[in-house]
Structure 1
Amino acid sequence: MNNRLIILAAVVVGALYVFFSSIFVVNEREQAIVLRFGAIEAVHTEPGLYFKVPTDIVDTVQIIEDRLLRYDIANMTLQVSGGKFYEVDAFLTYRITNPRLFRERAQGQLVVAEQRIGTRFDAALRQVYGVREFDAALSEERGEMMREARDLIRPDMAELGIEIVDVRILRTDLTQQVSSQTFDRMRAERLAEAALLRARGQEQAQSLRAIAERQAVEIVAAARRDSEILRGEGEAERSAIFAAAYNNDPEFFEFYRSMQSYRLALGAQTGTTMVLTPDSEFFRYFGSGTQGGIGSPSAGIQAATPAPQPPATAEVAPDVAPEAVPAPAPAP
């Protein structure tokens, strides 16, 4: 009885082992290749439960990725048609679409496939950048460059059972040397432009300054002209007033002018000495017994005949010349 149970248990265990070793599961992210003695027996690309010969000596299963995979290139130095260099970061996405071909050409190994992908991706980027100018990757041509690189890689990768889905350029920068040269060139261009603008500004400033100075000269000349005209009109009006006053009473006007001359000549203490004779015209209104003199009867003063006296001296202001003082009328 015990032997039967042992045998039954062994049979059950053996059956379970054979059953579980003969099935395998393929999920939605995978593909499976069934190999019989190393040769491809079947390829399963749809997810599900599958069966094989229940031993690893006869049938083996190789799982192949069915996901979208990515390959990156970083800090790649590329030369453009102008001779300058870029540092480029880029990546591509790919999918294994033919597991059988992938097994035959790349032994079913991603490492082997990515070596081929890296070599072809590098050559495609160099070819795309090499036929374009320096600023093409920084312009709207960038999208066309990525599509062109993808199309260059696709034929070779299709031979491995791989489809290149997309190519993307992440970064395109100048190298340090080219960046310094470009910065120096841009700086020189900006300095030249600034010097040109400064020169134009100085030219305009000088033009405006010359116009302003000319206008100032014209304004000052016009003001001086108007002032001279007004001064001449004033002098004319002043002379007319003096002439009218003199014509109204010439004798009084001469007397008034003589009094002013006496006040200026005799009243100022300037230390200047002027020697005149008593019968000088300057003393015409100092005579006695004559009409119009200070001692005349018309003035109500009885004056005796003056005795002979020495020539009189008088202090005269330095700003009044003797010939500018009106001479008094001679005494009778």
Structure 2
Amino acid sequence: MSNRLFIIGGVLVAALYVLFSSIYVVNEREQAIVLRFGQITDVRTEPGLYFKIPTDIVDSVQIIEDRLLRQDIADMTVQVSGGAFYEVDAFLTYKIVDPVLFRQRALGQLSVAQDRIATRFDAALRQVYGLREFNAALSEQRPQMMTEARDLIRPEMAALGIEIVDVRILRTDLADEVSERTYERMRAERLAEAALLRARGQEQAQSLRAIAERQAVEIVAAATRDAEIIRGTGDADRNRIFASAYGQDAEFFEFYRSMESYRTALGNTGTTMVLSPDSAFFRYFGSDGEIPAASTSFATPLPQQSAPQTPSTSSDEPALDGLGIEETVAPTMTLDDGSELQPTVGTEAPPPAEETAPASSQ
């Protein structure tokens, strides 16, 4: 009885082994190749449940990927035609479209295909970058470069039963030493531009400062000139008035000048003078305070003279600085009551004193 049970159990196990070894499943992400004694007898590309000769001795099944696969390259150093170096990150996507050819050329091993794809991808990128200048990878030529790299890889990969779907360049950066040199060059350019702008600003500032200083000198000179003219006009008027007034009575003029000299010389100045009592300086000093008798003979009054006029400064010619600043006219001053004080041009001499009858001598 026990021997029969062992036999029945062995038959069941053998039947199960034969059943399961004859069944294989292909899902939607895979494709299968059926090999009989190493020769390809069938290819299954549709998902489903399939049967083969039981056991793997006669028929064997190799599963091959049917998905879109990806191959990455990171931190790859490439050289452009100008001699500069880039750090590039890129990837490509591919798909196994011919499993029979893939089995024959790459033994159906994905690792073998990946090694060949990486080698060819590296060479294609170097070739594409090597044909361009420094700034091409950073310009609108980038899509064209990706297309060229894909087309360079496709023929060789098609011989493996692989289709290159797309190539993408993720990052294109300058190498560290090139980036540093580029930064220093850009920094030098910006510094030179800044120095040029500062030099132009200083040039304009000096020009404006020179014009302003020149205008200030001209204004001060014109004001000084007008002040001297006004002062000279005033002095001339004063002297003319004094001369006209004092010319009426020379004796009184001498008396007045003597009193002024006494006030000036004999004031509290600490000055010691040694003079003879008969000196002409003391002519009126000992007169007991008597004022000299008024003169009865008056000199002819001085004729009235017109005051000197300020020269005209109007001119149709522009100022020397080219800004159209004209010469300064005589200044005026507005008083608190609103009236304007203008420089004195001339003052009329007082009318001569009326002649009186000479006093009778006693």
Common topology (TM > 0.5): yes
Tell me the CA shift for residue 60 of structure 1: 0.7
Show CA shifts across 1:85-112 (max 9, x none).
Answer: 2222222111111111111111101111
Residue 31 to residue 287, structure 1, CA distance change in 2 (3 Å): same
Q: Where is the helix percentage greater, Structure 1 or Structure 2?
A: 1
Check conservation: 1:22, 1:54, Cα contact below 8 A. Answer: yes
Are residue 281 (structure 1) and residue 280 (structure 2) matched?
yes
1:45 is aligned to 45
Shifted more, 7-16 versus 228-237: the winner is 7-16
| Partner Cα distance (1:52, 1:238) in 2 | 143
Distance in 1 separating the partners of 2:291 and 2:26: 159
> Matched residues in 2 for 1:170 and 1:273: separation?
111
Greater displacement, 31-40 / 186-195 = 186-195
Contact 1:33 1:40 in 2 (8 A): yes
The match for 1:326 is none
Q: Render the CA deviation track for 1:267-326: whole Å, top value 9, x for unaligned.
A: 344334242452x433332455xxxx735898xxxxxxxxxxxxxxxxxxxxxxxxxxxx
Query: What displacement does 1:167 show?
Result: 1.4
- CA gap of 1:16–1:269, structure 2 versus 1, over 3 A, is closer
Q: Secondary structure at 1:126's aligned position in 2?
A: helix
Question: Which letter maps to 1:163?
Answer: E
Q: CA deviation at 1:5?
A: 6.3
- Unaligned runs of 5+ residues in structure 1 are 299-332
Matches within 5 A, 1:38-187: 38-187=38-187
Structure 1 residue 241 displacement after superposition: 4.5
> Which sits farther off after the overlay, 115-124 or 2-11?
2-11
| 8 Å Cα contact 2:22/2:51 also seen in 1 | yes
Amino acid at match of 1:73: I
SS at 1:275 equivalent: coil
Give the deviation of 1:2 after TM superposition. Answer: 7.2
**Residues 296 and 247 of structure 1: CA distance in aligned 2, closer, same or farther (over 3 Å):** closer
In the TM superposition, 1:232-271 aligns within 5 A as 232-243=232-243, 245-246=245-246, 252-271=252-271
Give the letter aligned to residue 176 of structure 2.
Q
Would the alpha carbon gap of residues 256 and 21 (structure 1) be closer, same or farther in structure 2, given more than 3 Å must change? same
Q: Secondary structure at the match of 2:140?
A: coil
1:192-211 Cα distance to aligned partner (Å, 9 max, x none): 33332333233222212221
Name the aligned partner's letter for residue 84 of structure 2: K
Tell me, yes or no, if structure 1 residue 27 matches structure 2 residue 27.
Answer: yes
Contact between 2:78 and 2:85, CA under 8 Å: does it hold in 1?
yes
Separation in structure 1 between the aligned mates of residue 61 and residue 269 of structure 2, nearest angstrom: 142
Q: Aligned-pair distance for 1:11?
A: 4.3
1:56 is paired with a residue whose SS is coil
Matched letter for residue 92 of structure 1: L
Q: Which residue of 2 aligns with 1:294?
A: 289
CA contact (8 A) 2:120 2:153 kept: yes
Which amino acid in 2 is paired with 1:282? F
Q: TM-score, normalised by structure 1?
A: 0.78
Query: TM-score with structure 2 length normalisation?
Result: 0.72
Alpha-carbon distance between aligned partners in 2 of 1:296 and 1:205, rounded to the nearest angstrom: 71
Conserved in 1, the CA contact under 8 Å of 2:252 and 2:292?
Answer: no
Counterpart Cα distance in 1 of 2:133 and 2:61:
51
Question: Would the aligned equivalents of 1:287 and 1:295 in 2 still touch at CA under 8 Å?
Answer: no
Tell me the distance in 2 between the aligned counterparts of 1:212 and 1:297. 62
SS of aligned partner of 1:229: helix
AA in 2 matched with 1:210: A
SS of 2:93's equivalent? strand
DSSP 3-state at the match of 1:221: helix
Distance 1:266 1:6 in 2: 165
Deviation at 1:122, TM superposition (A): 1.2
The reply on whether 1:230 has 2:230 as its aligned counterpart is: yes
Moved more, 228-237 or 161-170: 228-237
Question: 1:295 and 1:74, CA in 2 relative to 1: closer, same or farther beyond 3 A?
Answer: closer
Q: Report the count of equivalent residues.
A: 294
Whether the 8 Å contact between 1:286 and 1:295 is mirrored in structure 2 is no
CA distance in 1, matches of 2:92, 2:282: 128
CA distance in 2, matches of 1:53, 1:163: 32
CA contact (8 A) 2:82 2:134 kept: yes
Aligned-partner residue type, residue 65 of structure 1: E
Question: Could you tell me how far apart the structure 2 residues matched to 1:262 and 1:2 are?
Answer: 172
Corresponding position of 1:208? 208
SS of 1:168's partner is strand
Q: Which runs of 5+ in 2 are unaligned?
A: 294-362
Name 1:328's counterpart in structure 2.
none
- In the TM superposition, residue 7 of structure 1 has moved relative to its aligned partner by 5.4
Distance in 2 of aligned mates of 1:238 and 1:204:
50
Return the letter of the residue paired with 2:270. Answer: T
From the superposition, tell whether residues 118 and 297 of structure 1 become closer, same or farther in structure 2 (CA, over 3 Å): closer
